[in-house]
Amino acid sequence: MLSLAAVLVAAHRVHREPRRFGNAVWSGVAVVLAGMWLLDALSGAAWLRVVVFVLFALVVLVLPWALIANGVVMWRREGHSLANLLSLLTGLAVLGLLVGTAAVVGFGGSRWLVVAATSLLLVAGYLAFLFLALLGYGALYGRLGARTRADAVIVLGAGLAGDRVPPLLANRLDRAIECRAHAADADPVVVVSGGRGSGELVSEAEAMGAYLREQGVPADRILLEDRATTTEQNLRNSMDLLTEHGRGGAVVAVTNNYHVFRTAVLSRRLGLPLDVVGAPTANYFVPSAFLREFVALLAQYRRTNAAAILVLAAVPPVLAVLAVA
């Protein structure tokens, strides 16, 4: 009953407004409860124990090393920034947590060491649940039928290589061209949004406009928004620019697939009536990119997440103190 109730609540929320952060949480709760129900229903099946063991082994033996390897690739290909170290640091943290927990359990430890390890596991479990819930719902949101037929298409900037459009940004622009092709009788304008960053020879908007013209998009269907430096500014400035040019109707924002859900959540918080569609991303870039989006969403809802983490971390010490008393 609980799993069914959670599924119904999640479905109702998604139907009313798919761009909510809470939808990911409710969807995750529904999956967990449904999984618990399924495990209970199939508890006598021998193959189920094998599946659980294999999944556990993959998490313990493969996941941390895969993240570390991805971090090394990101460091070499994308530069030596903290953002590009996220998968490496996450892999090391997971490995450290597993080794530390095994040491405490296997070799014994003081009462308070066990309490501390339990608190860490609870916090790690909460973060893992949130990450998987956001990852799963983000993928679902991208397939919920966000319209590609629109009267205007906004392309969010993603950095340049000097004055050239790199592959990540080119994928966004190609997706915008697809949206124009799906517009049937309409002839959507494309707003290319992005200012000039450090090390860039021109604004992102200027380079993106040149790319679209080379791909056959008429110059009079391209609007340049060349001041934005954040996703929020991309969205606000582009919508303001469309209003100035008297462009109403349906609006679609294009970004890369890993960035879709956070952009959708932000557009809702800003009160902007638009859909968000995703463009492909290089496989090696995906793990680190999703981790970045996860960190950004945690920060966006920092008070709620900080409170949840503090409560979870406090539960084992409080129970230990009560047990002694």
What confidence tier does 183 reach under pLDDT thresholds 50, 70, 90?
A: confident
Name the helix (H) or strand (E) containing 252: strand 251-256
State pTM to two decimals.
0.85
How many angstroms separate the CA atoms of 176 and 223, rounded? 13
* Strand pairing category for 222-225 and 152-156: unpaired
Burial 21-43 (b: 16+ CB within 10 A, else e): bebbbbbbbbbebeeeeeeeeee
CATH number of the 152-281 domain: 3.40.50.620
Q: Are 250 and 149 in contact (CB under 8 A)?
A: yes
Bigger pLDDT: 320 vs 175: 175
What confidence tier does 145 reach under pLDDT thresholds 50, 70, 90?
A: low
Spell out the residues 6+ positions from residue 75 whose beta carbon is closer than 8 angstroms to its own.
84, 85, 88
159's torsion region: left (phi>0), alpha (psi -120 to 50) or beta?
left
Mean pLDDT over each residue of the chain, to the nearest integer = 88
The mean pLDDT of 70-93, rounded to a whole number, is 87
Quote the pLDDT of residue 35: 82
The mean pLDDT of 68-91, rounded to a whole number, is 87
Q: Are 173 and 212 in contact (CB under 8 A)?
A: yes
What confidence tier does 253 reach under pLDDT thresholds 50, 70, 90?
A: very high
Q: Are 188 and 177 in contact (CB under 8 A)?
A: no
The mean pLDDT of 157-176, rounded to a whole number, is 91
pLDDT at residue 323 above 60? yes
The mean pLDDT of 244-257, rounded to a whole number, is 89
pLDDT at residue 275 above 70? yes
The mean pLDDT of 174-199, rounded to a whole number, is 86
What confidence tier does 269 reach under pLDDT thresholds 50, 70, 90?
A: very high
Quote the pLDDT of residue 324: 73
pLDDT at residue 205 above 90? yes
Helix axes 111-141, 86-107, angle to 10 degrees: 140
Reading the block at residue 11, the tokens are 């479905």
Domain with CATH 3.40.50.620 in the chain: 152-281
**What DSSP line would sit under 37-100, residue for residue?**
HHHHHTTT-HHHHHHHHHHHHIIIIIHHHHHHHHHHHHHHHH-S-SGGGHHHHHHHHHHHHHHH
Number of DSSP helices (H) and strands (E) in the chain, helices first: 12, 5
Bigger pLDDT: 287 vs 57: 287
What confidence tier does 102 reach under pLDDT thresholds 50, 70, 90?
A: confident
pLDDT at residue 276 above 90? yes
What confidence tier does 148 reach under pLDDT thresholds 50, 70, 90?
A: low
Q: What is the CA radius of gyration of the chain?
A: 23
Instruction: Kindly report which listed range (76-80, 154-158, 281-285) carries the lowest average pLDDT score.
Output: 76-80
What confidence tier does 206 reach under pLDDT thresholds 50, 70, 90?
A: very high
Q: What percent of the chain has pLDDT over 90?
A: 51
Torsion of CA 302, 307, 310, 315, to 10 degrees: -150
Quote the pLDDT of residue 150: 82
